[in-house]
Amino acid sequence: MKQAREIEKTLGKAAVDAPCNFAHLHEMVRGELLLARKQVQKAVVCFEQAAEKAKKNNFTFHEAYASERAGFCYLKMGRKRLARVCLTDAVNLWRFWGAEAKARQLETDYEEVLWRLPSMGAAGTGDLVAGSHHGGASCCSGEGILDLEGLSGAFEALSTERNYDRLVEKLVHTALEYGGAEAGAVCRLDDGQVRLEAWKGVGTDKIELCGSSALSEETRLPVVMMHYVARTGTLLQYNHGEPPVVYDPYFDDFGCGSAICIPSMVQSRQCGILYLENRTLDHLFEGRRLSVLKTLSSQMAGAMENTRLYESLKDQAEKLQMVNRVLKNEVTDRRAKETALMEKERELKESGEKLSEANISLKQMLSKSDENMTEVRENMMRNVDDLILPYIDRLKGTQLTPVQGNLVEMLEKNIDDILSPFARNVNAGFFRLTPAEIQTAQLVRSGKTTKEIAELLNLSPRTIDAYRDSIREKLGLKKSGVNLRVYLMQM
């Protein structure tokens, strides 16, 4: 340990004079000393800084070693997500440097922790060897392999998700996984308003869906910082000990650690915000992680826009289907009513035809009845002429008393009335008259006086006068001045 401390001091001085060559070595030795003292949290910070400085100066071997030791420290701390990031970097870097056996050994030792990337295995070796140098922009660099291949599966899952709630939940999970963060949130911009879609806090395993609640009502997030990013569209970071670009009281009790707020852009238009924080490590969201998170944020914006558009189209399609079902039901009901109406029309037509037939039959029956009535009338008149009138004439030739003569005359007159339309008119038009009144009316029409009628009917003249008054009243002749005999003769 004493020798190690002396080496650390020597490298510290060399790092001041030549930081490009010795700064990362100094950090690695410091990390090993702190790890030997079981100060794992401080050690992992040294290894992270050593890896960044080695990468900056193209020391691939040292970057691979520092990444491996940082992953080991994260596992000791129980931070598997961060360990997975560092160990995956180490495997890719060892393989890029040409240490295939070392890369395979790490894959075997940390099989349950590492991402299963296409670059892990023999198939990836040829691709890695094709790179010209570590510091270039080749996709074969350690950074390129992690960014493109490691995220390809996650991006594919995000781009194919069509449920908005599940999408924002996956976005938060993926950002935490690849960014090494402890907490995070996904927000959406809606007409200038920042809406919180999903959030995961420190120490919780469940991602909470917030249902597009207003960010201004939240106390669990740095609202000032996130509103600044929404307003300006610029990326903001917070690192413990550094002056912030914009003051946010959320970080007053934050302690050590780091946070980042990244705008999500679609075609130069900001439509969302990705926020991540880690309360253990400073300067966590830099280098490779920052590139990965920027790419993820861009993918997040497109996925959120597409999913919301898909759900909007789906809602419109469902509404159209519902309207179509309503219209279909209305058409079915209308057709049923039209069918019922046609059936009624057919029934009415049949009824009309039946009534027409019945009317024709009735007309034929009435015509036949008129013919029969005419025949009956002719027969009756013939029978009266042949069977009754001859005997009345013979009776009139005998010696009759005046009363008998009046009776015979009256009998002949009544027979004429029966055969004439007067009797039928009286019976049909004056059905309210009593038989005695009808008999009196017939005698008045024939020109008989009240006294003569009283003698013929064997009644008193006063009774006949009463009958006459009753007839006039029933015929509507009361106080009219119309002569009763004249009226009756006009019937």
pLDDT digits (tens, 9 = 90+) for 145-196: 444 555 566 666 676 777 888 888 888 888 888 788 889 999 988 887 898 9
Beta bridge partners, 278, equal 258
- N- to C-terminal Cα separation, the chain: 155
Question: Which tens digits make up the pLDDT trace of 412-463?
Answer: 777 877 766 655 555 555 556 787 888 888 888 888 889 888 888 888 999 9
pLDDT over 70 (residue 411): yes
Q: What is the mean pLDDT of residues 3-31?
A: 88
What number is the average pLDDT over the span 344-356?
91
For the cut 60, the answer to whether the pLDDT of residue 128 exceeds it is: no
Q: Which amino acid is at 152?
A: S
Question: Percent of the chain beyond pLDDT 90?
Answer: 20
92, 146 contact by CB (below 8 A): yes
Structural domain spans, the chain: 2-130, 161-313, 399-489
Nearest to 81 by CA among 155, 170, 178, 171: 178
Reading phi first (left if > 0) and then psi (alpha if -120 to 50, else beta), residue 376 is in alpha
Residue 230: closest CA among 242, 215, 213: 215
Q: What is the pLDDT of residue 437?
A: 85
Identity at 355, one-letter amino acid code: L
pLDDT tens digits, residue range 366-384? 888 888 887 887 788 778 7
pLDDT at residue 276 above 90?
Answer: yes
Higher pLDDT, 50 or 390: 50
CA distance 427 to 487: 16
The CATH homologous superfamily to which domain 2-130 belongs is Tetratricopeptide repeat domain (1.25.40.10)
Q: Work out the average pLDDT over 92-97.
A: 87
CA 114, CA 80: separation in Å to the nearest integer? Answer: 9
The pLDDT tens digits for 308-337 are 777 778 888 888 899 999 999 999 999 999
CATH class, range 161-313: alpha beta
pLDDT recorded at residue 429: 52
Whose CA is closest to 182, among 75, 288, 276, 260?
276
The arrangement of strands across the sheet holding 193-200 comes to 208-214, 193-200, 183-190, 269-278, 258-266, 236-239
Q: Is the model's pLDDT at 50 over the cut of 80?
A: yes
